Amino acid sequence: MYEIVNKICLNPTVTRMDILAPLVAKKAEPGQFIILRVDDEGERIPLTVADYDRDAGTVTIIFQIVGATTEALNRKEKGDFIADFVGPLGKKTHTDGLKKVAVVGGGVGCAIAYPVAKKLHEIGCEVHSIIGFRNKDLVILEEEFKNASTLLKVMTDDGSHGEKGLVTDALEALIKDGNQYDEVIVIGPLIMMKFVSLLTKKYDIKTVVSMNPIMIDGTGMCGGCRVTVGGKMKFACIDGPEFDGHEVDFDDAMERASMYKDFERRAHDAECNLFKGVQNNG
């Protein structure tokens, strides 16, 4: 069992938790993920390591409430326990030799982008961070990115916070201003990563994306997390989760991801209705 030592609601649909898991915290690196189960009968879900504290033995996860499992996880409070917390899994983000990098995060994907920006900043890299959201109410981790970045651009679709526009607008403006990046690291919705990759391909800038498809075992045996990269099948859990953004077949990934949307919504609604029933009978 793993104790929840802290819980913060970042916005109405996104929650941060610090989990006491010393062995995971000892080895965790930016870009890697864990697989957890809320209880002994729950499903396994992957969540990216959003941060870690080796001294305290804690690992931070940030999740969006979209299905039954994240709904059940969100009902846990500080001091409660979850059944399983396995990791770190996947390959860590490559940071060696990078001198100037643009880190681009979209929505809850900023939770994955932040530890990457933080690690790059700690090793002396010049970090230009661009984070994008639909509106000001959904903004997360702004202060954290500010502390981990040489330059920070906050974008909102409606202009209610930061600058109005898309992350691609901000990135292209920085490129046109003469910034020469060793690499662009982009993490967020598939459609956002696709268009950032199309933009950077035009400017011939190496681009890394983080893929987060459905996973079950996290060891490459189930095949659920397969993605097409450079015309070849890869498994996000063992070959990734990071891949060359110019080689990822985003259209295939988006088609596969859409297959589970209705199921997630039905499972989420069923979990909510079950919880309401328990409350009413309690």
pLDDT at 267: 47
Written as one string, the DSSP assignment of 230-265 is: TTEEEEHHHH-SEEETTTB-HHHHHHHHHTTHHHHH
Q: 1-92+251-282, what's its fold?
A: Elongation Factor Tu (Ef-tu); domain 3 (2.40.30)
Q: How many residues does the structure list for the chain? A: 282
Measured distance CA(76)–CA(86) in Å, rounded: 18
98-103 mean pLDDT: 96
Range list for CATH 3.40.50.80 in the chain: 100-210
Higher pLDDT, 262 or 185: 185
Range list for CATH 2.40.30.10 in the chain: 1-92+251-282
Measured distance CA(256)–CA(28) in Å, rounded: 29
pLDDT at 259: 63
- pLDDT, one tens digit per residue, over 188-245 is 999 999 999 999 999 999 999 988 767 666 666 777 778 888 999 888 778 878 899 9
Number of Cβ within a 10 Å radius of residue 174: 16
* Nearest residue to 184 via CA among 101, 92, 100: 101
Could you give the percent of the chain with pLDDT greater than 90? Answer: 64
pLDDT at 17: 96
Beta pairing, strands 33-37 & 45-53: antiparallel
| Confidence at 66, pLDDT banded by 50, 70, 90 | confident
Q: Based on the number of CB atoms within 10 Å of its own CB, is 195 exposed (0-12), middle (13-18) or buried (19 or more)?
A: middle
| Torsion angle (degrees, nearest 10) of CA 171, 176, 182, 183 | 20
67 is written with which tokens?
């299905």
Tell which CATH architecture fits domain 100-210. 3-Layer(aba) Sandwich (3.40)
pTM of the predicted protein model: 0.83
Distances from the Cα of 71 to the Cα of 37, 136, 216, 279, angstroms: 12, 23, 18, 15
